[in-house]
Amino acid sequence: MKTFYNPHHALHQGKLEMFRGQLVPCFEVPDRVDHVLAELQRRPIGPVLPPQTFDDHALTRIHSSRYLDFLRTAWDEWVALDAANAARDALPSVWPVRTLRSDVLPANFSARMGLFSMDAGTPLTSGTWAAARVGADCALSAAQAVVDGERAAFVLTRPPGHHAGADFFGGYCFLNNAALAAQHLRDHGFERVAVLDIDYHHGNGTQAIFYDRPDVYFTSIHGDPHTEYPFYLGYADELGAGAGLGANRNFPLPRGTGFAVWREALAQALQGIKAFGAQALVVSLGLDTFEGDPISGFTLRSADYLQVGADLAAAGLPTVLVYEGGYAVAEVGVNAVNVLQGFDSAAV
């Protein structure tokens, strides 16, 4: 299995995020990738490669042009407001909620930050755009490898992507790598593609991007949004809309769910993917389902991830695995590579 690694991921390194009403050190840190890379070097499953470079047209297949324009220039604008801003990250403070307009692009920088964001927990830093942009290339490179005949490919990058919508960032995510990979597969010969999100937190951005489309099936196993971030999406009654009705299925599970129940939900999700007739699979591979994760609530153990990988391989589909969450930093490398090893051992 080829791994496409983002060598510039550490350019994005937030200082503080808003969590439970206070500013705390960021949970989403460069060590999350560094530990996976180190474990891949200890237990190699294939070459670790830099990504190809793709032009911005691939990004506009998923994200709006005005959102991409904002991300490209946001840091420079932030520093231009006050030279002292170079020493602190940008966080939004105002949002266009119900009854407020979002169609007009404000001139005020803070207003635009709020327009293009969903929370105050996702700092925008000096290197955010560079890191996210190369991460998108990693996702597209992995999808292209599958187009070219690879059984599977792994996207090792941060910041993660599945909370990012067509025109907003949040949940530590700026560009939706899983959606970019799925769209690339669609654009290069796969008529029906499935995205399976197994992060603890529902992939609201990916769901919203494909919600009214019949050609991309989205399914997610995650913490119940009644109590878990992102709160406002991920319920079981969300089945798709318009032409996409029936191409969306969520499996919200209560905090404390163990592997046996979680694995049964995975089996049901994979059955749905098979019934959809998917020809390729993108997995949003979140490892925050681990029992020691500091901001999540399932109880999977490291050995369980070997079985997760084998179950994913049993779907028999060309597969792109995209690294998402996982904040028990010391264990995330073992857990990630266990999934890849389990997949690689079971793949035929």
Residue 7 CB neighbours (<10 A): 14
**Each residue's pLDDT tens digit, 71-90:** 999 999 999 999 999 999 99
Please tell me what DSSP assigns to residue 69.
Answer: H
Record the tokens describing residue 12, joined without a space: 């994005």
**Mean pLDDT calculated for residue range 212-233:** 98
**Each residue's pLDDT tens digit, 267-282:** 999 999 999 999 999 9
Please tell me what DSSP assigns to residue 117.
Answer: B
DSSP code string of 171-211:
TTBSS-HHHHHHHHHHHTT-SSEEEEE-SSS--HHHHHHHT
What is the spatial distance between Cα 48 and Cα 69, in angstroms, rounded to a whole number? 31
- Residue 86, pLDDT score: 96
CATH number at residue 29: 3.40.800.20
- Residue 341, pLDDT score: 97
Domain of residue 332: give its range. Answer: 2-346
- Residue 161, pLDDT score: 98
What is the spatial distance between Cα 76 and Cα 81, in angstroms, rounded to a whole number? 9
| 193 beta partners | 216, 280
Task: Check pLDDT > 90 for residue 234.
Answer: yes
201 is an active site residue:
no
Residue tagged active-site, from 162, 163, 184, 222:
163
What counts of helices (H) and strands (E) characterise the chain?
A: 10, 10
Record the tokens describing residue 107, joined without a space: 């001139």
Record the tokens describing residue 225, joined without a space: 């949004």
**Each residue's pLDDT tens digit, 165-210:** 999 999 999 999 999 999 999 999 999 999 999 999 999 999 999 9
Strands 16-19 vs 22-25: parallel, antiparallel or unpaired:
antiparallel
**Mean pLDDT calculated for residue range 226-245:** 98
**Mean pLDDT calculated for residue range 24-45:** 97
Record the tokens describing residue 345, joined without a space: 């051992």
What's the number of domains the chain is made of? 1
**Each residue's pLDDT tens digit, 289-318:** 999 999 999 999 999 999 999 999 999 999
Q: Which of helix, strand or coil describes residue 323? A: strand
**Each residue's pLDDT tens digit, 109-125:** 999 999 999 999 999 99
Q: How many residues does the chain have?
A: 348
**Mean pLDDT calculated for residue range 336-344:** 98
